[in-house]
């Protein structure tokens, strides 16, 4: 039983994680701040660059999406708020807890409130996108 849930969660989570990360990255690109730092990127030529930081974000999003689908199969309370609760939980744990404690970024009270609001809304959209993909594929086992 668990093997079937995990197999279905792997490909639904892969699709949901990719789409959700692109939604969140796109949302945050609309509201860029002046303090946006340059990133290390690999040039493929012709003006095309590969940003490894965004690639890692997509991989983490895929992992968290698979985790969401598996969790939702066993406990549907995580789907409360159509996935936005999951997005808020991930923002609090990953962005504020882990990255803050590792000093990769400042805590939200050290940032302008506008950037914090944009980031939270981006994670709400991220969680919602994962939820929409999961309910769009009935094989995932996640239902309304």
Could you report the per-residue pLDDT of 58-91, keeping only the tens digit for each?
A: 999 999 999 999 999 888 888 888 999 999 999 9
CA dihedral 52, 56, 92, 72 (to 10 degrees): 150
Q: Is the pLDDT of residue 126 over 80?
A: yes
Q: Is the pLDDT of residue 95 over 70?
A: yes
Domain that holds residue 68: 2-140
**Spatial separation of the C-alpha atoms in residues 12 and 52, rounded to whole Å:** 23
Number of domains in the chain: 1
How many other CB atoms are found less than 10 A from the CB of residue 8? 19
pLDDT of residue 107: 84
CA distances from residue 109 to 18, 84, 106, 129 in whole angstroms, order as listed:
29, 22, 8, 27
Could you report the per-residue pLDDT of 12-52, keeping only the tens digit for each?
A: 999 999 999 999 988 888 876 655 555 556 666 666 777 77
* DSSP, res 47: T
CA distances from residue 37 to 5, 33, 34, 40, 107 in whole angstroms, order as listed:
41, 9, 9, 10, 17
Mean per-residue pLDDT for 92-116? 84
Strand partners, 48: 45
């Amino acid at each position: 039983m668990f093997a079937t849930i995990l197999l279905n969660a792997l490909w639904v989570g892969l699709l949901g994680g990719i789409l959700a990360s692109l939604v969140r990255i796109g949302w945050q690109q609309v509201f860029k701040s002046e303090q946006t730092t340059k990133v290390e990127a690999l040039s493929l030529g012709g003006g095309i660059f590969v940003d490894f930081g965004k690639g890692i974000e997509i991989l983490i999003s895929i992992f968290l999406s698979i985790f969401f689908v598996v969790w939702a199969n066993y406990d549907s309370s995580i789907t409360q708020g159509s996935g936005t609760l999951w997005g808020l939980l991930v923002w609090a744990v990953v962005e504020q807890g882990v990255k803050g404690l590792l000093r990769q970024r400042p805590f939200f009270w050290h940032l302008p409130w506008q950037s914090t609001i944009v980031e939270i809304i981006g994670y709400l959209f991220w969680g919602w996108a994962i939820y929409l993909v999961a309910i769009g594929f009935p094989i995932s086992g996640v239902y309304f």
